[in-house]
């Protein structure tokens, strides 16, 4: 009875590892050397247990393998919980560095606004220079975090990057070219954050001269 009980418990431990392995293969956990090593050790232990079941073995040896399986299962469960906790923290606080960099931009913008109020709005040139400084700093911060403006003006219309807001008859450029950018678009690395809203050229219709009014 003791041997059967041990076999049953070992089988249950193996089933637990199989479910964890399937979950890892499904993509819920990112590949990790520590995780792979734990999985490898678990599989070796399962194979060793299967070999014992095919060959006579003593009670002590079977109990040792069973204990090893239980320890590996506990280690893997702890690792999985830690990975889930780290992933949750990344989702909640992943933008912390970007926010920290943007705070200096906010500080400079506050200074520009305060200066404009103190001057009574009379020194517009100084205000403009302050706003331009903040704009350059902000774009620099975005570039630091791999956020870049989409270069759309003069390019052929690309539906993956551009959103056409209107068309205008134009003979000076190739048809389907971007002749005006209404709103700039941005990418995060190679991922589109916001498309560029643009006006696109088209061939003039019969009796229509180039450079006509835009059409939706």
Same-domain check for residues 39 and 75: yes
CA separation for the pair 196, 207 (Å, rounded):
31
Q: Is 163 helix (H, G, I), strand (E, B) or coil?
A: strand
Report the predicted TM-score, pTM, of the whole model to 2 decimal places.
0.56
CATH of residue 192 = 2.30.22.10
Same-domain check for residues 137 and 68: no
Length of the chain: 216
Q: Which helix (H) or strand (E) holds 6?
A: helix 2-25
Q: Which helix (H) or strand (E) holds 179?
A: strand 178-183
Share of the chain above pLDDT 70, in %: 70
- Res. 213: pLDDT tops 80: no
**Region of poorest pLDDT, from 82-86, 150-154, 164-168, 209-213:** 209-213
Looking at 93, 114, 133, which one is the last position of a domain? 93
Q: 194 is written with which tokens?
A: 């916001």
Same-domain check for residues 118 and 161: no
Looking at 93, 125, 159, which one is the last position of a domain? 93
- Res. 137: pLDDT tops 80: yes
Looking at 68, 93, 118, which one is the last position of a domain? 93
Residue 114 burial by Cβ neighbours in a 10 Å radius (0-12, 13-18, 19+): exposed
Residue 214 burial by Cβ neighbours in a 10 Å radius (0-12, 13-18, 19+): middle
Domain of residue 125, residue span = 96-145
* pLDDT at site 209: 63
């Amino acid at each position: 009875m003791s041997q059967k009980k041990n076999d049953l418990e070992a089988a249950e431990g193996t089933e637990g590892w199989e479910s964890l392995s399937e979950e890892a293969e499904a993509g819920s956990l990112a590949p990790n050397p520590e995780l792979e090593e734990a999985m490898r050790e678990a599989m070796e232990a399962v194979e060793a247990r299967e070999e014992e079941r095919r060959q006579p073995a003593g009670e002590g040896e079977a109990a040792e393998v069973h204990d090893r399986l239980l320890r590996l299962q506990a280690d893997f469960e702890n690792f999985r919980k830690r990975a889930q906790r780290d992933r949750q923290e990344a989702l909640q606080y992943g933008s912390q560095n970007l926010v920290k960099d943007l705070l200096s931009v906010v500080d400079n913008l506050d200074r520009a606004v305060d200066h404009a109020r103190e001057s009574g709005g009379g020194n517009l040139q100084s205000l403009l220079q302050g706003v331009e400084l903040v704009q350059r700093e902000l774009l620099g911060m975005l570039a630091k975090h791999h956020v870049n403006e989409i270069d759309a003006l003069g390019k052929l219309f690309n539906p993956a990057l551009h959103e056409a807001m209107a068309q205008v008859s134009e003979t000076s450029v190739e048809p389907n070219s971007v002749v005006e950018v209404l709103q700039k678009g941005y990418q995060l690395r190679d991922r589109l954050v916001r498309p560029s809203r643009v006006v696109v050229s088209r061939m003039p219709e019969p009796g229509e001269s180039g450079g006509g009014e835009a059409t939706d």
